[in-house]
């Protein structure tokens, strides 16, 4: 077995070099690859299968709360991008420009959408007339382009896949409600489906989206103690509506501006899945997400009845996503490979098991082995997948909680920032200057003002003036 | 009721002006809308729901034959596009060029993919080493851009949604097999799911895809007698493999070039659905595709028990995609609207029906009305949806057959082309000159050389030389 194991190339240990470990996992688990287009990636079948499952589950949750899908153009005329001042300032420096169509130069440049607020606004301005047309709760699944200088697979690339929801409402209250509702859809999805615990909160003004009145976020903590913003939801108030002239005639016959929101979750979340759950053997997939939940590895598969039994077992387990690995590799190689790919449960079955009417189950997350009678295996797998989900969530939460620290003054914060990777909870006076100083002097940014506030101290961790909010600070991807 | 009907704006009659009828249906059924980006469309929720159902069903059929989904970049560096000579000649004149990223001019222009052969080839050249890596049967769902001069919703737009499959095989035989297999997947999908009969065949050299050795197509006949190419499958032989250096070491340790295919089906198919099945009341959706299969319209919905019964019925019919229209519009308006949107079955239920324990079912395709006991309604709806699918297919096929003509000589062909919109079957000598003359002098192009060949005559319909193939000719979208 030792010899077999060596055949599967080892990956860098995560404690030795976390960044290299990440790159190794992405490559060896065959999730994605670089392309000839600088900064753009090829998502390979095993990586795309994750995105398909994410899409499928999230889309189901969207439809439960009244979201309808549409498709908008990928191009934005320059004049359209410029209509909302803060928005264009935020995005214009990082967009790709189309200047020629066919053999001719365009009269007006088009940018490839970095996000589609302007396109939805332009559409809504034509499509919304009366209060009867509201609310509009639309979403699209697409890719967007931002001309990043440095890129990393899933975490930051020039083109990435995402969904972007864009809504229009009659009142400010309804828009705020929708903004929070969608943030909660993301948070529940991360926790219930991906086994990733998240902190729900609001971004500070400095960190909010270009053009938004308020931005809400879910923040997850990676294994190395760095944070990853995993989904955001923005309330635009009537700012875009005024810039684009999106008005409706209300029941009282008055023309009123709509109130808008947008919200997005991207393939970045795959980076979070890798960095929250992965270990030194590779990927560890949460069972509800895993494209293959159970791999059956026949031991001595040439021996009489072994492969037949493996296939029989595959049929017995057809309520799960199950696969028999009948390739001509050795069992040891198959073990390592299924571990690298993060398959939640492995079943080993050989001649001795056949005789005893049993099989060996191995958990990917804990490597725990158990022998189970074949007659009980279906029920056992069902239980086990639920247990694994539960344990993965609890482990990630325990890790996060163990790496969440309180700082009562700047010295404490600086000490934590320098030596204890994780979230730092500290009070803040609300002024942008302190936020900038904390970044400059301690290298941390505000991740969010959590909905669940706690009063750690009375004064701002930096300036000592009266505090208004408890903030999660940290280093982030 | 007559008064109500007037409230729903009439559409142009299809016999009066088919093109205007098409535009009216697209607009009034709220399938799509123009955008501020010239030549690009917004696909609205009711239109996008069609594409989602198409995607879902086609993707299921793909996966049954071993297709795996991936995601490639949307940009192609100019040098990559130029690697295969015929391909670049076919596409370069109609692509959009990105010249600036952020604030800087790019060193090399990138085109927005018009199709992704070059990207897949570039990827396969790195990803394929050994015969063990073959076959590769990958697909992506995405949008592509072609800088068309004149555009029409769904039929021709500068950006459109599609799927593109790209495969690599060890042998020429296997590639040819896959090319035909995928064409048959498209054809079966059109017939079994969309109720659209298609002619399966091969394109002539003049009409084949840029860079392909052979192109296969499915051709459908629209209500106005024009053809629509509804899906294509291409065999590239080893042409791209040689241009991109895609080699594998075979079992005999020899380096060999792979053989490749590609195949695509786009949102154009929505145009076909409209133009094959639609009528003067609007859209007629095939039942398996329809996002809403059954609409329940309460009559006198304020009357006691009516709305409750409608909702009860909705629950009884939960195996189908069913919706109660409880808006404050009149029943007449709701009838017209559900007809415009093409919902296959309407159920009318009012106080008198409640008393009699029955409801009225109305077929969208034939306007046939039937009274059904509430106890039998679930079984009846199941049957009815199947019958409607069957009848829609048969009607479309009868229409196509009635508009398929044989021409034995040029005079006959010219007469048909001028006066009888439809397919013209005629023999051909195989030379491109005759094909060009037929276009010039009769305005028809070769749609395909059908797999089911029949010998209509011995000689070419144009030049009189010995014929090699029977060809479907026609005017096309």
Q: What is the pLDDT of residues B1-48, one digit of tens each?
A: 343 444 456 899 999 999 999 999 999 999 999 898 999 999 999 999
**Closest C-alpha to B324, from B348, B300, B296:** B296
Closest chain B C-alpha to A38 CA, distance in angstroms:
9
Interface residue of A56, A76, A101, A139 to substitute, partner B, most B CBs within 10 Å? A101
Q: Tokens at residue A325, please? A: 């690995």
Query: Which phi and psi angles does A383 have, rounded to 5°?
Result: -60, -45
Closest chain A C-alpha to B297 CA, distance in angstroms:
20
Q: Buried b / exposed e across A97-122, counting CB within 10 Å, b at 16+? A: bbbbbbeeebeebbbbbbbbbbbbbb
Q: Which of residues 149-178 of B touch A (CB under 8 A)?
A: 158-159, 161
Query: Which phi and psi angles does A374 have, rounded to 5°?
Result: -60, -30
Going by C-beta distance under 8 Å and a sequence separation of 6 or more, which residues neighbour residue B117? Answer: B84, B87, B166, B211, B236, B240, B262
- On whether any CB of chain A is under 8 Å from the CB of B66, the answer is no
Can you tell me which residue has the tokens 């914060």? A413
| Terminal Cα-to-Cα distance of chain B (whole angstroms) | 38
Q: Which of residues 133-152 of B touch A (CB under 8 A)?
A: 138, 142-143, 145, 147
DSSP reduced 3-state for B254: coil
Asked if A99's CB is within 8 angstroms of B100's CB, the reply is: yes
DSSP reduced 3-state for A287: coil
Q: Do A423 and A452 touch, CB atoms closer than 8 A? A: no
Q: Tokens at residue B4, please? A: 């109500």
Closest chain A C-alpha to B121 CA, distance in angstroms:
11
Q: Which residues of chain B have pLDDT under 70?
A: 1-9
Going by C-beta distance under 8 Å and a sequence separation of 6 or more, which residues neighbour residue A245? Answer: A125
Helix or strand (DSSP H, E) at A371 = strand A369-373
Q: What residues of A are in contact with residue B93 (Cβ under 8 Å)?
A: 102-103
Q: What residues of B are in contact with residue A126 (Cβ under 8 Å)?
A: 33
pLDDT at res. A376: 97
Q: Tokens at residue A429, please? A: 């006076």
DSSP-assigned letter for residue A218: E
Cis peptide before B135 (omega within 30 of 0): yes
CA A141 from chain centre, in angstroms, equals 14
CA B75 from chain centre, in angstroms, equals 25
pLDDT at res. B85: 87
Closest residue in B to A127 (Cα) is: B33
Q: d(Cα B24, Cα B282) in Å, to the nearest integer?
A: 8
Q: d(Cα B333, Cα B350) in Å, to the nearest integer?
A: 16
Going by C-beta distance under 8 Å and a sequence separation of 6 or more, which residues neighbour residue A440? Answer: none
Q: Which residues of chain A have pLDDT under 50?
A: 1-7
Question: Could you tell me what percentage of chain A is helix, strand and coil, using 3-state DSSP and rounding each to the nearest 5?
Answer: 40, 30, 35
Q: Strand locations in A197-254, DSSP E?
A: 199-202, 214-221, 227-237, 247-249
Q: Which residues pair with B405 in a beta bridge?
A: B424
Share of chain A above pLDDT 90, in %: 94
Q: Do B411 and B393 touch, CB atoms closer than 8 A? A: no
**Closest by Cβ to A68, choosing from B45, B72, B98:** B45
Phi-psi region of B422 (alpha: psi -120 to 50; beta: other; left: phi over 0): left
**Closest by Cβ to A40, choosing from B33, B75, B161:** B75
**Closest by Cβ to B77, choosing from A36, A43, A138:** A36
Q: Which of residues 242-301 of A touch B (CB under 8 A)?
A: none
Pairing state between β A345-349 and A294-298: parallel
Longest dimension (CA), chain A: 81
> Is the four-CA dihedral B114, B118, B120, B123 of positive or negative sign?
negative
Q: Which of residues 92-131 of B touch A (CB under 8 A)?
A: 93-103, 110, 112, 119, 122-123, 126-127
Closest residue in B to A74 (Cα) is: B159
Q: Do B259 and B213 touch, CB atoms closer than 8 A? A: no
Cα-based distances in Å from A317 to A53, A284, A288, A374, A379: 20, 21, 15, 11, 9
Helix or strand (DSSP H, E) at A286 = none
If one counts every other C-beta atom within 10 angstroms of the C-beta of residue A6, the result is 12
Cα-based distances in Å from B240 to A162, B80, B87, B125, B260: 32, 12, 9, 10, 8
Can you tell me which residue has the tokens 């990559």? B80
Q: d(Cα A173, Cα A302) in Å, to the nearest integer?
A: 67
CA A100 from chain centre, in angstroms, equals 35
DSSP-assigned letter for residue A477: -
User: Is B432 exposed, middle or buried (CB count within 10 Å of its CB: 0-12, 13-18, 19+)?
Assistant: exposed
Cα-based distances in Å from B407 to A143, B59, B410, B443, B464: 49, 39, 7, 15, 13
pLDDT at res. B9: 67
Cα-based distances in Å from B203 to A351, B207, B234, B446: 55, 6, 10, 8
Cα-based distances in Å from B366 to A82, B73, B425, B431: 51, 46, 31, 45
Q: d(Cα B218, Cα B190) in Å, to the nearest integer?
A: 9
pLDDT at res. A8: 56
Q: Which residues pair with A441 in a beta bridge?
A: none
Helix or strand (DSSP H, E) at B416 = helix B410-419
Q: d(Cα A329, Cα A135) in Å, to the nearest integer?
A: 57
Q: Buried b / exposed e across A272-309, counting CB within 10 Å, b at 16+? A: bbbbbbbbebbbbbbbbbbbbbbbbbbbebeeeebbeb
Q: Tokens at residue A175, please? A: 């828009």
């Amino acid at each position: 077995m030792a010899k077999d194991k060596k055949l599967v190339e080892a990956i860098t240990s995560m404690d030795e070099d976390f960044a290299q470990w990440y790159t190794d996992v992405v490559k060896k688990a065959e999730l994605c690859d670089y392309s000839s287009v600088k900064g753009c990636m090829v998502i390979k079948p095993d990586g795309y299968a994750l995105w398909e499952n994410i899409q499928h589950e999230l889309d189901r949750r969207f439809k439960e709360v009244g979201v309808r899908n549409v498709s908008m153009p990928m191009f934005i005329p320059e004049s359209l991008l410029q209509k909302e001042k803060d928005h264009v300032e935020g995005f214009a420096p990082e967009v790709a420009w189309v200047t020629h169509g066919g053999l001719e130069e365009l009269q007006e440049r088009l940018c490839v959408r970095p996000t589609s607020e302007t396109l939805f606004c332009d559409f809504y301005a034509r499509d919304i007339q009366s209060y009867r047309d509201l609310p509009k709760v639309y979403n699209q699944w697409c890719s967007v382009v931002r001309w990043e200088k440095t890129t990393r697979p899933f975490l930051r690339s020039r083109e990435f896949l995402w969904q972007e929801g864009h809504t229009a409402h009659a009142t400010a209250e309804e828009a705020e409600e929708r903004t929070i509702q969608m943030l909660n859809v993301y948070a529940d999805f991360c926790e219930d489906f991906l086994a990733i615990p998240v902190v729900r909160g609001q971004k500070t003004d400095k960190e909010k989206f270009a053009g938004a009145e308020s931005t809400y976020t879910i923040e997850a903590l990676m294994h190395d103690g760095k944070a990853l913003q995993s989904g955001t939801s923005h309330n635009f108030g009537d700012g875009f509506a005024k810039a684009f002239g999106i008005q409706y005639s209300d029941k009282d016959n008055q023309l009123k501006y709509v109130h808008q929101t947008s919200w997005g979750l991207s393939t970045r979340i795959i980076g979070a899945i890798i960095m929250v759950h992965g270990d030194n053997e590779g990927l560890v997939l949460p069972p509800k997400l895993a494209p293959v939940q159970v791999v059956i590895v026949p031991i001595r598969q040439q021996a009489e009845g072994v492969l037949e039994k493996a296939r029989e077992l595959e049929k017995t387990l057809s309520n799960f996503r199950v696969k028999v690995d009948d390739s001509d590799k050795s069992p040891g190689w198959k073990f390592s490979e299924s571990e690298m790919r993060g398959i939640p449960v492995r079943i080993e079955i050989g001649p001795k098991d056949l005789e005893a009417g049993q099989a060996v189950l191995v958990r990917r997350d804990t490597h725990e082995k158990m022998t189970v009678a074949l007659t009980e295996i279906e029920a056992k797998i069902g239980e086990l997948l639920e247990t694994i989900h539960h344990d993965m969530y609890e482990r990630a939460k325990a890790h996060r909680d163990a790496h969440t620290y309180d700082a009562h003054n700047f010295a404490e914060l600086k000490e934590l920032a320098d030596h204890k990777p994780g979230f730092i909870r500290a009070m803040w006076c609300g002024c942008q200057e302190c936020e900038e100083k904390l970044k400059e002097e301690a290298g941390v940014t505000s991740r969010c003002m959590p909905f669940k506030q706690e009063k750690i101290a009375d004064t701002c961790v930096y300036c000592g003036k009266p505090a208004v909010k408890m903030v999660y600070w940290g280093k982030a991807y």
